Amino acid sequence: MSSVRPKLKPATPKVVTAWDASNGFTTYRTPSGDWTQNVAEAEVLTHEAADEALEAAKKDQTRATDPYLMEVTEDGKVTGRETLRESIRAEGPTCHPNYGRQAEVN
């Protein structure tokens, strides 16, 4: 695993994030088990449901690389100890506003 991240409490809202195996882009698991580059479309989970989603993601090797659980607010916004890191992953480099998802959105 290239990414060992802080352990989150069971009740903390979280999403499964990974890297797209083909292009390496940041990706999030949706309620249907698909993947999206938009964190707002990710499935927010807690407790065993989050662990089960992570286990399912680990088996989805052709689409997702190195999945892990990432903290979000109940309505799916990036938050917590790793807010800066995860915001950069979600949006793109702060020094290059023309690159990453931020470029598509803006």
Partner 1 sequence: MYRYDEFDEQMVRDRVAQFRGQVERRLSGELDEDHFKPLRLQNGVYLQMHAYMLRIAIPYGQLSSKQMRTLADVGEKYDKGYGHFTTRQNIQFNWIALKDIPTVLEELANVEMHAIQTSGNCIRNVTTDQFAGATAEEIEDPRPWCEIIRQWSTFHPEFAHLPRKFKIAVTAAETDRAAIRVHDIGLHMKHNAAGEVGFEIIVGGGLGRTPIVGTTVKDWVAKDDILDWLEAIMRVYNLHGRRDNKYKARIKILVTELTPEVFTKQVDAEFEAQRDEEKVRLPQEEVDRISDYFKAPAFETLPATSAAYEEAKANDEGFAKWTETNLSAHKVDGYTSVTVSLKPLNVAPGDATSAQMRVLADIAKAYSFDDLRVTHIQNIVLPHIKLDELYNVYLALDDAGLGADNVDLASDLICCPGLDYCNLANARSIPVAMEIQNMFSKYDRDLGKLHINISGCINACGHHHVGNIGILGVDKKGEEFYQITFGGRADEKARIGDIQGPGLRQEEVTPALERVAQKYLEIRQNSDEKFISTLERLGAEPFKEALYADS
Please give the backbone phi and psi of residue 67, each rounded to the nearest 5 degrees, phi first: -65, 150
13: tokens are: 């809202």
Least separation, in Å, of the C-beta of 27 and partner 1?
A: 11
CB 18 → partner 1: shortest distance, Å?
10
CA distance 44 to 55: 15
CB-wise, 41 or 63, nearer to partner 1?
Answer: 63
Residues that bind partner 1 (CB under 8 A): 1-3, 19, 21-26, 61-62, 65-66, 80-85, 88-89, 92-96, 98-100
- When the beta carbons of 11 and 24 are compared against partner 1, the nearer one is 24
Q: Closer to partner 1 at the Cβ: 31 or 97?
A: 97
Q: Can you tell me whether residue 39 is helix, strand or coil?
A: helix
CB 11 to partner 1: min, Å: 19
Residue whose tokens read 């989805």: 60
Which CB sits closer to partner 1, 59 or 75? 59
> Nearest approach, Cβ of 92 to partner 1 (angstroms)?
6
Closest CA to 19 of 63, 59, 60, 77: 63
- Taking the alpha carbons at both ends of the chain, their separation in whole angstroms is 32
